[in-house]
Amino acid sequence: MRRLSGQVLALTVAISLALGAVAVVKMDLMKPTVVAGSSSMATADDWWPFAIDAAKGGDLSKVEAIDYVPLKTAEKAWNLCVLFPHLQDSYWLSVNYGIAEETKRLGVKFTLLQAGGYANLPKQIAQYDDCLAAGADAILLGAISEAGLAAKIKEGMAKGVVNIAFVNPVLETPITARITPDFYAKGFETGEYVKKLLGDKSGKAVGFPGPQGSGWAETYMSGFRDSTATGNVTLLAEMFGEASVPAQLRLVEDALQTHPEMTVIWGGGAAAEAAIGAVVDAGRDDITIIASYENQTLLSAVRDGKLLAFATEYPVIMGRIGVDLAVRALEKKDYERILLVTPGLVDKANVAAFDTTQIFAPEGFQPVFSAE
């Protein structure tokens, strides 16, 4: 088993001490708190300071909690090229919102290209070439696959283009900077939460982490797997697939047939959304659903009691900070090479108090593909 970080150990202590519903868990604290991240509701003008972990000097053995404060403005209207794996759910729409707002605040330009899904690696590779050909000053990369894009990232870095990995991990390939969730901690956190809520009861879980080969799905799964290696939840199966509701629905329906003893569905936002309807159709009101990350639909599902909880990784904030990192690097200003978003846990007990402006785009927000 992977050695647990101090953050995960702190989480475990917090959960074991909690009575009843667990409030938002800040994993760098020994007790629950109501709002993670900013201490006040974020707006386009004052979303900072934001509490986040930084690997000082890019050294993961020297992780410290910091309050992130962005630049006031950019020195020039830099051209940023942004690559998304897709825009087929509200998660990436929220990242898009964060990018659009922060580029506007700083006074820089951006162009967004999306590949249409995790099966479309060749398209994202071609889009990376498009960014280079267009003379982008920086590329913000939501990578479909690090291995698949490693050669392109190296090419861009060799040409002096700033490369910022955000949301999806780029761990081994040399890159300017990265901001990602602590995927392992989120998988582990949600496993501990389910075990605590079950109490004296036992559970049998199937995991739906997301697309194999993405890196993040495997890391989410490893965290949940390690959590359920002990305690009252047995992991029956791991079912990987495209991070879309239709693809995840097929997997959930297969699991309901193949594993009728299943009482816990754990997975990504699309899997949880698909599972909510699938368990109703199957007449299975004995199944608990929990999500390792969020989308807009899950917010109302938590409020309505259809979803136990979701672990948030603040998509809007990752978009904002990704832009700020790029501008800092371009302007030779100090910046953190590795940032890890400390997850918060949103459940029915705290959802009304949680600052959702850091998580979701406003209702009615439409994708923004460029800003001059």
Has residue 200 been placed in a domain? Answer: yes
- Say if residue 108 is in the same domain as residue 124: yes
- Say if residue 259 is in the same domain as residue 206: yes
Has residue 196 been placed in a domain? Answer: yes
Has residue 319 been placed in a domain? Answer: yes
Report whether pLDDT(23) > 70. Answer: no
- Say if residue 123 is in the same domain as residue 77: yes
Which of the residue ranges 32-46, 201-215, 317-331 would you say has the lowest mean pLDDT?
Answer: 32-46
- Give residue-wise pLDDT tens across range 91-131: 999 999 999 999 999 999 999 999 999 999 999 999 999 99
- Say if residue 146 is in the same domain as residue 248: no
- Say if residue 243 is in the same domain as residue 320: no
Has residue 33 been placed in a domain? Answer: no
Provide the pLDDT for residue 45.
60
Domain boundary among 274, 296, 312: 312
Tell me the residue range of the domain where 276 lies: 183-312
- Give residue-wise pLDDT tens across range 127-144: 999 999 999 999 999 999
- Say if residue 188 is in the same domain as residue 139: no
Provide the pLDDT for residue 257.
98
In the chain the first and final C-alpha atoms are separated, in Å, by: 49
Which of the residue ranges 3-17, 164-178, 328-342 would you say has the lowest mean pLDDT?
Answer: 3-17
- Say if residue 227 is in the same domain as residue 322: no
Rounded mean pLDDT of 185-192?
95
Has residue 105 been placed in a domain? Answer: yes
- Say if residue 58 is in the same domain as residue 135: yes
Which of the residue ranges 9-23, 229-243, 338-352, 354-368 would you say has the lowest mean pLDDT?
Answer: 9-23
Domain boundary among 296, 312, 328: 312
- Say if residue 56 is in the same domain as residue 178: yes
Provide the pLDDT for residue 24.
34
- Give residue-wise pLDDT tens across range 264-284: 999 999 999 999 999 999 999
Domain boundary among 312, 335, 363: 312
Instruction: Return the CATH number at 299.
Output: 3.40.50.2300
Tell me the average pLDDT of the chain: 89
Has residue 2 been placed in a domain? Answer: no
Has residue 7 been placed in a domain? Answer: no
- Number of domains composing the chain: 2
- Say if residue 156 is in the same domain as residue 191: no
- Say if residue 72 is in the same domain as residue 62: yes
Has residue 29 been placed in a domain? Answer: no
CA-wise closest residue to 227 among 185, 182, 290, 181: 185
- Say if residue 346 is in the same domain as residue 239: no
